[in-house]
């Protein structure tokens, strides 16, 4: 109390500090942590600590104990975790905590989508190659069947060519009569036989001796 009377100020313990982050909470981005207590006389000093389970480790570099600014730099997996800031003066201390962990949801979803796309691409390539091979085998089978059909038809065609066509067979070798030759008329074989019978009978009668 005597100090307060001399200075004219009343000592005030630090109020609840506020911990906040400046920067984008993603891997590779520049990150800074800040801690500030609105009240406190004498002005509080700040101490950053890293909390891992039951283990608490004081941060000894890259931060200002007067302003509470803690510059982490480019965020990596090594810097992820919980951080605690304590504002303290001669009358007491208060602390706040911030979680410096990137969301793994986006990474997991991205990896899952990538895996699905890779599997779909592999399935598409396998289907394309399988379809191409099936078409090739089908064509080879069709060509083989056509070749067999052609080879089976060739002997039959040879037999057909050996048998003369009825139209190509010449007519009876019986010589046409003199009259038909002169008039260029066609005389059927039956008519030639009928005409030949009287001539034969006449010749036989001539050969018989007279009584």
From first to last of its 211 residues, the chain has per-residue pLDDT tens of: 444 444 556 889 999 999 999 888 888 888 999 999 999 999 999 999 999 888 899 988 888 889 999 998 888 888 888 999 999 999 999 999 999 887 544 455 556 677 788 888 888 888 888 888 888 888 887 888 877 766 666 655 555 555 555 555 555 444 555 554 444 555 555 555 555 555 555 555 555 555 4
pLDDT at 128: 85
Final residue in a domain of this structure, among 133, 152, 171? 152
Residue 95: which domain range?
Answer: 11-102
Domain shared by 66 and 31, yes or no: yes
CB-CB contact of 18 with 33 (8 Å): no
pTM for this structure?
Answer: 0.45
Domain shared by 68 and 133, yes or no: no
Cα(59)–Cα(53) distance, integer angstroms: 16
pLDDT at 6: 41
Domain shared by 96 and 129, yes or no: no
Domain shared by 30 and 95, yes or no: yes
Residue 163 forms part of a structural domain: no
Cα(120)–Cα(142) distance, integer angstroms: 33
pLDDT at 161: 54
Domain shared by 18 and 84, yes or no: yes
Residue 67 forms part of a structural domain: yes
3-state secondary structure of 52: strand
Please name which of 70, 95, 89 lies closest in space to residue 17, comparing C-alpha atoms. Answer: 95
Domain shared by 17 and 98, yes or no: yes
Domain count, the chain: 2
Cα(31)–Cα(52) distance, integer angstroms: 19
Domain shared by 51 and 114, yes or no: no
Domain shared by 122 and 92, yes or no: no
Domain shared by 123 and 95, yes or no: no
CATH label of the domain that carries residue 94: 2.60.40.10
pLDDT at 1: 46
**H or E segment to which residue 192 belongs:** helix 189-207
pLDDT at 92: 94
Residue 43 forms part of a structural domain: yes
Residue 29 forms part of a structural domain: yes
Tokens of 189: 């074989």
pLDDT at 185: 53
Domain shared by 66 and 108, yes or no: no
Domain shared by 86 and 34, yes or no: yes
Domain shared by 80 and 42, yes or no: yes
Tokens of 163: 């048998």
């Amino acid at each position: 109390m005597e100090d307060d009377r001399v200075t004219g100020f009343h000592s005030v313990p630090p109020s609840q500090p506020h911990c906040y982050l400046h920067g984008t909470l993603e891997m590779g981005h520049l990150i800074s942590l800040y801690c500030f207590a609105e009240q406190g006389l004498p002005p509080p000093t700040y101490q950053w600590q890293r909390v891992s389970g039951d283990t608490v480790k004081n941060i000894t570099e890259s931060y200002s104990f007067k302003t509470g600014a803690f510059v982490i730099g480019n965020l990596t997996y090594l810097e992820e975790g919980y951080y605690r800031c304590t504002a303290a003066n001669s009358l007491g201390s208060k602390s706040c905590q911030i979680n410096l962990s990137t969301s793994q949801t986006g990474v997991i979803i991205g990896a899952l989508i990538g895996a699905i796309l890779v599997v779909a691409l592999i399935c598409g390539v396998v289907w394309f190659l399988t379809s191409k091979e099936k078409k090739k085998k089908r064509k080879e089978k069709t060509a083989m069947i056509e070749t067999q059909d052609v080879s089976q038809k060739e002997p039959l065609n040879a037999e057909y060519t050996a048998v003369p066509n009825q139209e190509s067979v010449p007519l009876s070798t019986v010589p046409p009569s003199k009259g038909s030759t002169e008039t260029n008329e066609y005389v059927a074989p039956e008519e030639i036989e009928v005409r030949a019978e009287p001539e034969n009978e006449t010749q036989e009668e001539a050969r018989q001796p007279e009584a």
